[in-house]
């Protein structure tokens, strides 16, 4: 894999300017996370006041290191960053990762511009400033002052909020959601969301991208790159500033241009991006996309032991543009061979609250065998007559025995035992959630993404076709057309 940002994520060497022996300082935490995170490249602490930090030889400056440096992480006061950038540039560094705050977000636009000017003079790219760092699991690189332990996975998270990003690193671990990368972009003085989308769009270690975005400077660049990426991989956006008052708050946070809420909704839709209102929904979607990326067909079957849960799921699906159809006659006839006469064999299929675990197995196993059923939503309400874990095991057995790759999503409603069953299902790559609404909304996202992706493909095809036709018109005629 190549690209402008390759060495940012696959560095051979890193220098940490502002590395400290004080365990409470950001420079120390950054260095410790890099060293303990499994990074295999060379690491150089830069601090003129000491000889060693964490057992590593320390250097007074980047240029005093007798080795090539790919990435320079800067954790010094804002006023000193220009001097560091000049020194890093002379040393031949490719990237500056500027942790330091005190730039555009506090009105120091001049200092931020100067930082970028110096970097560009030396051919360096800048990530930041005003960030908590970045993480890339495939390289064993945790160059953040966030949590040390992260579960590796295939979700890349790009965030404009530092504190929120750090919190979500911990949240993803608790929820057992694996990440390929977490990147804090802060003020986006140089490297922006579009640059990172382009990298992760080509990254074989990333299957889904989550954005926490407050605003962009170059809307056309963002739309063009996001559109080409979204037809290949799902992009989920938590758009800050969905209201006018929220947009003002976003502008004051990082000094970025948020734009009007209605404008942003249209841009994200045109780019094929799934917009969500909250962090919980974003990670719910990401959990689903970890396992499934394609909706096999429109026919969804809901299996439940609680009529209320089925109704809630039906409403949620409908609100997201997904309508249930009646089950195939073959399936209905099969259900009547073991369900009590008062069970509902319509859709949702209500196997009743007294149903044993085995009924979940029988109902799901047959549904996975019938071509006319394309996805299954399994809902379980904890009762005194069933065990959540045994029901989870019945679901897994049906999936494994059928060998089906149809999307299967579960919603388990109950207490601590239901939570254990959810964890069990997740560990076996079946997306599972604690409410029927969250389970249904996640499954509906698969269909929303399919619709968005097809719309983007059509738009890109039309743009390509119009470009080809336009290029074949003789020069003089083309000029006449443009005048009109």
Quickly state the pLDDT bin for 477 (edges 50, 70, 90): very low
Residue 149: how many other CB atoms lie within 10 Å: 11
**pLDDT at residue 162, as a whole number:** 81
Question: Is 70 exceeded by the pLDDT of residue 244?
Answer: no
Quickly state the pLDDT bin for 252 (edges 50, 70, 90): very low
Question: Is 90 exceeded by the pLDDT of residue 89?
Answer: yes
Do domains 1-133 and 296-445 share one topology? The answer is: yes
The SS3 assignment for 97 reads strand
Q: Which two tokens stand for residue 320?
A: 């997201």
What are the φ and ψ backbone dihedral angles of 74, each rounded to 5 degrees?
Answer: -110, 115
Quickly state the pLDDT bin for 242 (edges 50, 70, 90): low
% of the chain at pLDDT higher than 70: 92
pTM: 0.90
Quickly state the pLDDT bin for 167 (edges 50, 70, 90): confident
Quickly state the pLDDT bin for 263 (edges 50, 70, 90): confident
Calculate mean pLDDT across residues 40-59: 97
CA distances to 41, 98, 106, 159, 237 from 130, in Å:
25, 7, 10, 12, 21
In CATH terms, the superfamily for domain 1-133 is: NAD(P)-binding Rossmann-like Domain (3.40.50.720)
Question: Is 60 exceeded by the pLDDT of residue 85?
Answer: yes
**pLDDT at residue 3, as a whole number:** 85
Quickly state the pLDDT bin for 173 (edges 50, 70, 90): confident
Quickly state the pLDDT bin for 479 (edges 50, 70, 90): very low
What CATH code is assigned to 150-291?
3.40.50.261
**pLDDT at residue 470, as a whole number:** 46
% of the chain at pLDDT higher than 90: 81
Tens of pLDDT, residues 309-319: 999 999 999 99
Residues 443, 431: Cα–Cα separation, whole Å: 9
Comparing 167 with 102, which gets the higher pLDDT?
A: 102
Tell me if 86 sits within 8 A of 55, measured CB to CB.
Answer: no
Residues in the chain: 484
What are the φ and ψ backbone dihedral angles of 21, each rounded to 5 degrees?
Answer: -85, -10
Comparing 258 with 7, which gets the higher pLDDT?
A: 7
Q: Which two tokens stand for residue 206?
A: 């990333």
360 secondary structure, DSSP code: H
Tens of pLDDT, residues 93-138: 999 999 999 999 999 999 999 999 999 999 999 999 999 999 999 9
Of the candidates 159, 134, 161, the one whose C-alpha atom is nearest the C-alpha of residue 146 is: 134
Mean pLDDT of the chain: 91
CATH class of 296-445: alpha beta
The SS3 assignment for 260 reads coil
**pLDDT at residue 168, as a whole number:** 84
Residues 179, 233: Cα–Cα separation, whole Å: 15
Quickly state the pLDDT bin for 481 (edges 50, 70, 90): very low
**pLDDT at residue 296, as a whole number:** 79
The SS3 assignment for 131 reads coil
Give the β-pairing of 56-57 and 52-53.
antiparallel
Give domain limits for the chain. Answer: 1-133, 150-291, 296-445
Comparing 35 with 482, which gets the higher pLDDT?
A: 35
Tell me if 84 sits within 8 A of 109, measured CB to CB.
Answer: no
């Amino acid at each position: 894999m190549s690209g402008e940002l390759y060495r940012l994520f696959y560095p051979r060497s890193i220098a940490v300017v502002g590395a400290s022996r004080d365990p409470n300082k950001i420079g120390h935490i950054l260095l410790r996370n890099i060293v303990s995170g499994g990074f295999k490249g060379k690491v150089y602490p830069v601090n003129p006041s000491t000889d060693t930090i964490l057992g590593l030889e320390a250097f007074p400056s980047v240029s005093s290191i007798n080795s090539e440096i790919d990435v320079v992480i800067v954790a010094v006061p804002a006023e000193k960053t220009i001097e560091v950038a000049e020194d890093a540039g002379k040393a031949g560094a490719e990237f500056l990762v500027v942790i330091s705050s005190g730039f555009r977000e506090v009105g120091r636009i001049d200092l931020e511009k100067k930082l970028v000017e110096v970097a560009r003079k030396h051919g360096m790219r800048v990530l930041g400033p005003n960030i908590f760092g970045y993480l890339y699991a495939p390289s064993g690189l945790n160059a953040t002052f966030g949590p040390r332990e992260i579960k590796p996975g295939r979700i890349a998270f790009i965030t404009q909020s530092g504190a929120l990003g750090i919190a979500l690193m911990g949240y993803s671990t608790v929820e057992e959601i694996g990440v390929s990368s977490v990147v804090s972009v802060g003020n986006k003085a140089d490297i922006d969301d579009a640059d990172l989308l382009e990298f992760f769009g080509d990254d074989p270690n990333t299957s889904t991208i989550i954005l926490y975005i407050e605003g962009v400077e170059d809307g056309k660049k963002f739309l063009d790159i996001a559109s080409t990426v979204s037809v290949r991989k799902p992009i989920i956006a938590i758009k800050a500033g969905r209201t006018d008052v929220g947009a003002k708050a976003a502008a004051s946070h990082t000094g970025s241009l948020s734009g009007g809420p209605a404008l942003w909704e249209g841009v994200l839709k045109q780019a094929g991006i799934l917009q969500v209102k909250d962090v919980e929904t974003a990670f719910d979607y990401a959990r689903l996309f970890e396992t499934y990326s394609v909706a096999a067909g429109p026919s969804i079957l809901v299996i439940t032991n609680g009529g209320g849960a089925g109704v809630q799921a039906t409403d949620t699906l409908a609100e997201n543009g997904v309508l249930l159809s009646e089950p195939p006659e073959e399936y209905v006839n099969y259900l009547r061979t073991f369900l009590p006469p008062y069970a509902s064999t319509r859709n949702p299929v209500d196997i009743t609250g007294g149903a044993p675990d085995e009924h979940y197995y029988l109902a799901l196993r047959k549904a996975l065998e019938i071509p006319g059923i394309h996805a299954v939503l399994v809902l379980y309400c904890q009762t005194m007559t069933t065990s959540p874990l045994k029901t989870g095991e019945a679901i897994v057995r049906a999936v494994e025995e059928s060998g089906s790759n149809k999307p299967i999503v579960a919603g388990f409603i109950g207490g601590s035992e239901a939570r254990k069953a959810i964890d069990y299902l997740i560990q076996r790559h079946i997306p599972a959630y604690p409410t029927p609404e969250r389970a249904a909304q996640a499954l509906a996202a698969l269909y929303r993404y399919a619709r968005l992706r097809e719309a983007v493909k059509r738009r890109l095809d039309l743009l390509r076709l119009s470009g080809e036709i336009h290029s074949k018109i003789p020069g003089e005629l083309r000029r006449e057309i443009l005048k009109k």
